[in-house]
Structures are given as C-alpha cells and as structure tokens.
C-alpha cells in the first residue's frame, strides 16, 4: 500500500520542473517571487526607526530671548493667539494611539493582500500561467472572506489565552509568600502547555484551510463550505492526512535546512563582493570630497546592495515554495476525489461515441460505407439473375432463334441492369 502524500512527492517534483524550467522564464519567476513574498507575510524582525538617540532634558531648554507680553504691541494679520499652545496641547497618548492605529491598518491591508494571494498562487500553479492583476481581481472577494475567517480564529485564540490566566489571579492577589515559588513554576508550565495546545490546533486549522482553498476555487464554493468538505473527507481517511502532516513536516524541515545553507552561502558571497565595491567607491569619493560627505554618497549604493540581496533571496526561494505548494495540490488531487483540479499537465480524455450519436458526429456514415456498398452489389447481382432467367424463358417460347422476342428480351435486360447500376 502506498500513501498519497508519498506519491505526491514525485508529482510535485515533475510539475515544479515543468513549470519553472521547461522553459525558463525570468519574468515568470519574478511574478512568483512577488506572490511568495505576500503569501509568506512579514516577519517580526522589523525594527523601529533605526535611531538610538534619546532626548534629554537639555534638548528642551528655551534658548530664545525672553520677551515680555508688553513688548509685542501687535500680532501679524491673520494670526490668532488661540493656537499658540496647540502643539503643547497634543497628548503623547494620542500620538501613540495614532501610530498604533496606522500600524494596525497596515497589518490589515497587508493581511488582505496576503489572503488574496493565496488564491492567486494556487491558480497560477494549476494553470502554469501567472497573471497577477487578473487573478487578484478574480479572487478579491474570496480573499476578504479568508481574512475574516482568520481574524475570527485569531480573536478566539486570544480570548482562550487570556482565559488561561484566570486561575492565577487569586494567587497573585494573595499576600502569603508560601505559594509564591510553586505558583510561579506551575503557572509557567500551565501557560506553556496552553500555548503549545493552541499552536497545534492552529496548525491543524491552517492545514485544513490550505486544503480548502483549491476546493473553494474549483468547486466554486465558499471557504467554510470547502472547509466542511475537507473535514468530512478527513473523517473518512484520517490516516492519509496524518501521514501527509508527517511528510509535510519532513519536507518543510529539509527545505528549511537547504534554504538556510543556500541563503547563507549567497549572502556571504554577495557581501564579500559588495564590500570590495564599497571600498573602491569610498576611495574614489575620497579623492573628490571630504570625509563626512563620501559616507553620505555611499548610502544609496548600500541601499541598492541590500535591495539586490533581498531580491536574489526571493528569487532563490521560488523553487522551494513552488515545490511545497505543488505537493499540497498533488496530495489533494489524489486524496479528495471530487476536487476537480484542472492541472496544466492533464491530458484531456477522449470521449466515447455512443451508438445513437454516430449519425450526429458523421463517423457512423464513414464506418457503414463498406457495408452499404456490399449490400447494393448483392441486390444488383440478384436482379441480373432474375432478368437472365426471364430472358431465356421468352426465347424458348418463341421457337425462332434470333427472333424479335429474343432481341427484345436481351435489350430490356441490358437496359434495366444498366439503369440499376447507374442508380
């Protein structure tokens, strides 16, 4: 017995090779890299503004000369004294709230694009054609539904995590130091167990959603309906899904190790090259300008180098991500019989011709022509025999050899045979 997840590995390799290298299309790789960037999402390693400067009290010293109110006889026209303290009236909490609001808005917009790109990625790999604008417009509604489902799941998980802290509220409020250390140790293991449990449940739900996305596309149904289809099929053949999860974990681990090795070697090689280039540029700039300015001139080149490294890493990640997605789609093709995924490498089935459809297709007339010809030939031979027998009877009755009766009979038989043949 072979498992579906293992059989899907060969199909994923074959489809990845045909989609990316037969033939090689650079712009196709670029479009797939853009999709993978949004599907992968933004990590949590993004820092702040990049400045370590901290303001001190000396920065807020008023260096302006003190002017008494009596020394300002008139204000400029159009300026009112009501807004003199507007900047000071802005609360720091309001500024922090505005920054948090903009950050949340950015996360929501990016998450919506990421959810829509999930459908775009599947469609591009199934058809082996990448049309970003057309596919994005096609799946905007489905992407919004997927985003709302993920937000609802995230809110539920957050509420469950907060509820897990409720047993420790009485312990924290008590003043007795007897249970301090046991409570801290028990609380640590309890919270750790809750986080692990929620992570496992989230991974299972995420796997079901990933399997439901292609079904939602090609069965033309909603995400929740496709999710229920996947769950019903899971209850029928849960062993296949368990093996699939194990194979996916092994493939993800192997692909991750390979990516770390390739990315590390590439970054090291590019870093050496760019350091040499930057040193050459620094000496060239030093011949023209002074020391602070040449460093400022190097900043655009350094930014371009970082951008080039990032773009190269994204292009290098295309085969790895495409292979993993093809493995998911190939497993779904075998495991879910009614998925109806129209892969680009599927050969169209030859339709069978029913007996009643032969006359409509025109093939029946072609197949029956030899039979019709043989039947017409047998009818003509039968008529010739009948006519020859009647002709001999007429000549015997007349008793005159070569008479008019014999001549008429032969002439009539020849004319009738020739007319039958012409027909």
Q: What is the pLDDT of residues 338-360, one digit of tens each?
A: 888 899 877 655 444 444 444 44
Confidence band for 178, pLDDT divided at 50, 70 and 90 = low
Lowest mean pLDDT among 147-156, 228-237, 371-380: 371-380
Where b means 16+ CB within 10 Å and e means fewer, 68-80 reads eeeeeeeeeeeee
Q: How far apart are CA 382 and CA 2, in angstroms?
A: 66
The burial class, CB within 10 Å (0-12 / 13-18 / 19+), for 326 is buried
Taking only the tens place, the pLDDT of each residue in 140-151 is 999 999 999 999
Confidence band for 104, pLDDT divided at 50, 70 and 90 = very high
User: Two tokens at 312?
Assistant: 């190269």
User: Two tokens at 357?
Assistant: 């459809």
Where b means 16+ CB within 10 Å and e means fewer, 113-144 reads bbbbbbbbbbbbbbeeebeeeebbebbeebbe
User: Two tokens at 227?
Assistant: 């999710």
User: Two tokens at 125?
Assistant: 């790999």
- Please give the average per-residue pLDDT across 291-319, as a whole number: 90
Lowest mean pLDDT among 185-199, 288-302, 369-383: 369-383
Instruction: With CA atoms as reference, report the closest residue to 278 among 262, 298, 258, 260.
Output: 298
pLDDT at 289 over 60: yes
Confidence band for 362, pLDDT divided at 50, 70 and 90 = very low
- Please name the residue ranges forming H helices in 290-403: 291-316, 318-335, 358-361, 363-398
- Please give the average per-residue pLDDT across 188-213, as a whole number: 92
- Please give the average per-residue pLDDT across 179-191, as a whole number: 74
- Please give the average per-residue pLDDT across 30-47, as a whole number: 71
CA dihedral (211, 212, 213, 217) positive or negative: positive
Q: How far apart are CA 322 and CA 47, in angstroms?
A: 29
The burial class, CB within 10 Å (0-12 / 13-18 / 19+), for 51 is exposed
pLDDT of residue 276: 93
pLDDT at 190 over 70: yes
Q: How far apart are CA 83 and CA 221, in angstroms?
A: 58
pLDDT of residue 340: 85
């Amino acid at each position: 017995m072979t498992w579906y997840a293992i059989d899907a590995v060969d199909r994923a390799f074959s489809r990845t090779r045909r989609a990316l290298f037969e033939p090689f299309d650079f712009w196709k790789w670029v479009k797939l890299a853009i999709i993978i960037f949004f599907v992968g999402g933004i990590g949590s390693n993004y820092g702040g503004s990049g400045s370590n400067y901290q303001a001190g009290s000396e920065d807020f010293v008023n260096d302006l000369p003190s002017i008494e109110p009596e020394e300002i006889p008139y204000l400029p026209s159009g300026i009112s004294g009501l807004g003199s303290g507007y900047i000071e009236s802005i609360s720091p909490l309001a500024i922090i709230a505005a920054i948090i609001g903009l950050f949340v808005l950015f996360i929501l917009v990016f998450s919506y694009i990421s959810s829509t790109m999930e459908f775009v990625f599947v469609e591009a790999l199934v058809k082996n054609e990448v049309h970003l604008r057309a596919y994005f417009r096609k799946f905007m509604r489905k992407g919004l539904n997927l985003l709302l489902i993920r937000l609802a799941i995230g809110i539920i998980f957050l509420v469950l995590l907060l509820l897990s802290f409720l047993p420790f509220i009485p312990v924290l409020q008590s003043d007795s130091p007897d249970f301090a250390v046991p409570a801290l140790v028990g609380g640590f293991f309890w919270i750790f167990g809750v986080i692990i449990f929620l992570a496992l449940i989230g991974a299972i739900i995420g796997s079901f959603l990933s399997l439901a996305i292609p079904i939602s596309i090609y069965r033309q149904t909603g995400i929740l309906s496709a999710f229920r289809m996947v769950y019903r099929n899971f209850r029928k053949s849960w062993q296949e899904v368990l093996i699939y999860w194990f194979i996916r974990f092994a493939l993800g681990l192997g692909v991750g190790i390979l990516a770390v090795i390739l990315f590390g070697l590439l970054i090291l090689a590019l870093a050496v090259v760019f350091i040499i280039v930057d040193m050459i540029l620094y000496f060239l700039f030093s011949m023209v300008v002074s020391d602070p300015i040449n460093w400022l001139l190097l900043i655009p080149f350094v930014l371009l180098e970082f951008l080039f490294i990032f773009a190269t890493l994204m292009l290098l990640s295309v085969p790895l991500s495409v292979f993993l997605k093809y493995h998911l789609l190939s497993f779904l093709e075998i495991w879910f019989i009614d998925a109806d995924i129209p892969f680009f490498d599927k050969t169209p089935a030859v339709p069978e011709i029913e007996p009643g459809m032969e006359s409509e297709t025109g093939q029946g007339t072609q197949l029956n022509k030899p039979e019709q010809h043989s039947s017409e030939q047998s009818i003509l031979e039968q008529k010739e025999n009948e006519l020859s027998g009647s002709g001999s009877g007429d000549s015997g009755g007349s008793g005159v050899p070569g008479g008019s009766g014999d001549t008429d009979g032969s002439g009539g038989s020849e004319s009738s045979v020739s007319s039958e043949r012409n027909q």
